[in-house]
Amino acid sequence: MVLVTGASSGIGRCCAELLAARGYKVYGASRREVDLAGVESLVMDVTSDESVSRATAAIIEREGRIDVVVNNAGISIAGAVEDCCAADAREQFEVNLFGTLRVCRAVLPAMRRQGSGYIINVGSIGGLVAIPYQGLYSASKFALEGLSESLRLEVRDFGVRVVLIEPGDHRTALTSNRRFVESKVYGERFDCAIARMALDEQGGPSPEGVARLVHRVIQKPNPRLRYTVGPVMQRAAVWLKRLLPYALVEKAMREYYGR
């Protein structure tokens, strides 16, 4: 039995549809009902403790267990760090980090009792290599990395496997749904960087590749902690950051995003 959050579009939708097509019983969770072939629609707002608790309890009551959770719900707020206020940061973290935390806390008692389970947290290459004017988004995904590492250490002895899927740019609704914090100081630089991001996202691969990776991961008895997926150059950037002096990485990032 699989629970996928953020199932209304993009990566979440593809994961829900592909896993259902492969024979899994899938619940697709979103703030509104979704109509996906073979997928049970579940209304869930990951920013609400009560909503997450009610929805996961309903699944457990009906199915008796939860075998896989794909924590995919997320938003993106773009803006210079100087221009983003604490309220912007809270909004970004409320979904991308605290939403994942809520779902993990809700499903872990059942997974511990049954002695098995997979928690797949959808991070981002932007949580490994920070992106200019995406400081809040990158910060939320960096934080998800730490949360997932700790959780993996804590629950392994209970038979629960925690995995980070780290996509690069994919062609999803994240581009059109991104919220912007406007800037008078960084205006031209900001516009140039955002245009580059949008071009990479909408020119990127479809999210079906991420869904196929999720399917492969949950078939492994002992999956790795991290799996990157997406454009080769973006995946290579992760390794270059580890191997090269950061001054070279910084120069390349500034040039790429038009600084």
What is the H or E stretch that residue 30 is in? strand 26-30
Q: Name every residue whose Cβ is closer than 8 Å to that of residue 188 and which is 6 or more positions away in sequence.
A: none
Radius of gyration of the chain (CA): 18
Residue 15 in contact with residue 72, Cβ under 8 Å?
Answer: yes
Amino acid symbol at 104: C
Active site residue 27: no
Count CB atoms within 10 A of the CB of residue 9: 16
Secondary structure E strands in 155-258: 160-167, 179-180, 226-229
Catalytic residue among 137, 186, 227, 257: 137
Residues labelled as active-site residues: 137
